[in-house]
Amino acid sequence: MALDQSIIDVDVLIETVRGYNPNTDEKLIRAAYDYAAQMHLGQKRQSGEPYFMHPVAVAMILAEMRLDDQTIVTALLHDTIEDTKSTYGEIEQKFDFEIAELVDGVTKLTQLQLSGSESKQAENFRKLFMAMSKDLRVILVKLADRLHNMRTIKHMKPEKQVQKSRETMDIYAPLAGRMGMQWMRDELEDLAFSVLNPEGRNSIMRRFITLQRETGDVTGKITVDLRAEMQKARVNAEVHGRAKKPYSIWRKMQEKELSFARLSDIYGFRVILDTEEDCYRALGVIHQRWHAVPGRFKDYISQPKTNGYRSIHTTVSGRDAKRVEIQIRTHKMHDVAEAGVAAHWSYRDGVPSENPFAVDPTKWVETLNERLMNADDHDEFLEHVKLEMYADQVFCFTPRGDVIKLPRGATPLDYAYAIHTRIGDSCVGAKIDHMRMPLWTRIRNGQMVEIITAEGQRPQVSWLDIVVTGRAKSAIRRSLRDEDRERYMKLGWELVRVAFDQVGKRASDKALNTAAKQMGIEDRQELLSRLGSAEVSARDVVLTLYPSLVEKKGEEIDPARAVVGLAKDQRFDRAQCCQPVPGERIVGISYPGKGVVIHTIDCPALGDLEDQPKRWHDLQWHSGPHPANHSVSLDMTISNDAGVLGRICTLIGEQGANISDLLFVDRKSDFYRLIIDVDLRDIEHMHTVMLALEAESDVASIKRHRDLNRSP
């Protein structure tokens, strides 16, 4: 199969991987390359180029990061499940379970909309971090995917460019930085900056060119000076200089409210050495030769960042009094600084890297998730996420000399809550470096903080404006809620009782617990408390359990054309083993004498057909409202009391569904187990019916019933 010349050849990709991993599984990479090329055959990008160039480019980005074979193969396959007729089962069969899981993980991430309403954004961020905890390589592939899309963004429609660039600036660039891949963060930010503010970027570039014309090659001159000083002190060092990215310069101008002419530290230099001891020797050489700028020194070697980053940062007044930022690190520290958390999977000298500074990604994600998942609601969770992704860190000390890490801008109250919630709740004052200071004081690197507490002290509402950490905000809000909890719960109960009465329902404990679970709230007491404090409306609770009350029907789709992807003369039927409904991913299987039978994509019956690909049809449901004629079997256990079955049937009817069959499976003195066939519109309708039934006190359990004995 001849490929377009714009596509990187498989031999070039393999040679790149072999350059850092001579033991690479060439056969595996070649098989993935050929399979993906076949799957994407005929597909085009917005530019008109073959779509296959994109997954190969993503694989090359990850190869340049020296990642393992499984990650490279995942990059090649990452769009096959989403955009082609390929399936999870087929990838697992042709490759292996690990690769199928990785590809499936990237597919699920691609379907997440990380911009939009705050509640939806928070829910999808939770899914993002769940994917990270499963296997961090999924995020590495997604970041490389976003990087290549940003590099080729000019071919998208203008409004799409803006949307993708804003998402990149707000989410993907900070995430890359949080994972320690600063080079990727810088490039993503600059690419997004060129779309969101092209005039601002062009202005920076014009001024930078003018500065170079006036002063000559400052980077080259300072690099020569640094090398000369290192040689004079007999320190074996590599020195690299660079001008900072336009967006980095622009951000400094905005933060410091400075003009370009007054912004001095627009050059950055790295001094890379053999040992940690050499790093401190190099620091001494630099500070002896040039004046250190006060307040611009950070030692991340003695106090590493949580993502494994180690380096000494210092800013000095260099040649012609220009400020320059210098980073000092060893070669192994530099590898981690370039790869971040991804260093765990990278190769050096043909073997998996055993860099002592590379953090264990499992522990890193656990630590990150632990800090993020303590949030009580969507707002708090988003606060946690954005702080974690954007914040730089400061290091302060307890009176005993223990180190506490906090985000930049943190106050003594943040420090108190970082030690223990009890210390924060009872805080009445603070000493910084032995001096009494206001609670709103911003802590600086290296300061010693002491908290003064008093029995009976309670958090104040004004504290929410003082603290910056999600942990502190969450604890303060919780304490404030607890004080008025009883009053709020009584008020919440009255509000929800009236709301349920208006729709003819009873606000039972089980109904409220079910609603709380569906809304992501701890329990019914917490739900009532939030109702009383106006954080949640009673209408929202009713609509969570009974959304059909406000449901509006549009023109329904003709059942004969409910499925897209079949020829006009082909008839179809639903498989009774899995009973697919609109909204579920489906696949069609040809059966002699039966036409095409539709199965859900995860139907176990498909396992026996994987070796018969000619019988498979790539299908999907027609978009729009479907009639309620899709029968689904529900397995229920209900109380054996008078009138219960009648109430269940009435409730199903109230949700706009019809019972087409009912079978008692087991009758006991206290409970009945039965299978009810219900006619439904789509997957959302099914969830609505099941949720309403689950909220009933007399329903012990409910689940969807599947019967493989009924397969075609």
Q: Which CATH number do you get for residue 42?
A: 1.10.3210.10
Mark whether 461 and 374 lie in a shared domain: yes
Q: How many CB atoms lie within 10 A of CB 581?
A: 21
Mark whether 54 and 162 lie in a shared domain: yes
In this structure, the chain runs to a length of 712
Which of 196, 219, 242 is at the close of a domain? 196
Look-up: residue for tokens 């070796």? 611
Mark whether 617 and 650 lie in a shared domain: no
DSSP structure class, residue 520: T
User: Of the residues 26, 49, 83, 551, which is catalytic?
Assistant: 83
Mark whether 476 and 490 lie in a shared domain: no
Look-up: residue for tokens 């702080």? 387
Mark whether 519 and 638 lie in a shared domain: no
Which tokens belong to 423?
A: 């210390």
Mark whether 144 and 215 lie in a shared domain: no
Domain count for the chain = 6
Which tokens belong to 599?
A: 């199965």
N-to-C CA span, the chain: 38
Please give the Cα distance from 55 to 49 (Å, whole number). Answer: 13
Does residue 685 form part of some domain? yes
Residues spanned by the domain of 405: 365-482
User: Of the residues 82, 338, 379, 677, which is catalytic?
Assistant: 82
Which tokens belong to 192?
A: 């997004």
CATH code for position 682? 3.30.70.260
Mark whether 472 and 489 lie in a shared domain: no
Mark whether 32 and 82 lie in a shared domain: yes
Does residue 1 form part of some domain? no
Does residue 595 form part of some domain? yes
Does residue 359 form part of some domain? no
Could you list the beta-strand ranges (E) of 304-433. 312-317, 323-330, 347-348, 351-352, 393-397, 403-407, 427-432
Does residue 183 form part of some domain? yes
CA–CA distance from 545 to each of 37, 493, 505, 512, 637 (Å)?
A: 47, 16, 10, 9, 19
Mark whether 522 and 567 lie in a shared domain: no
Average pLDDT of the chain, as a whole number: 82
Helix ranges (DSSP H) in 503-629: 509-518, 524-532, 538-545
Residues of the chain with pLDDT under 50: 1-2, 117-119, 378, 390, 550-553
* Catalytic site includes residue 82: yes
Q: Measuring CA to CA, which residue among 500, 492, 494, 476 is closest to residue 530?
A: 492
Secondary structure (3-state) at 617: strand
Q: How many CB atoms lie within 10 A of CB 666?
A: 9
CATH code for position 394? 3.10.20.30
Mark whether 469 and 328 lie in a shared domain: no
Mark whether 572 and 467 lie in a shared domain: no
Instruction: Name the residue type at position 323.
Output: R
CATH code for position 312? 3.30.460.10
Does residue 536 form part of some domain? yes
Which of 196, 225, 248 is at the close of a domain? 196
Q: How many CB atoms lie within 10 A of CB 674?
A: 17
Do the Cβ atoms of 533 and 641 come closer than 8 Å?
A: no
Please give the Cα distance from 357 to 370 (Å, whole number). Answer: 22
Does residue 5 form part of some domain? no
pTM of the model: 0.56
Please give the Cα distance from 93 to 311 (Å, whole number). Answer: 45
Does residue 551 form part of some domain? no
Mark whether 164 and 57 lie in a shared domain: yes
Which of 329, 352, 375 is at the close of a domain? 352
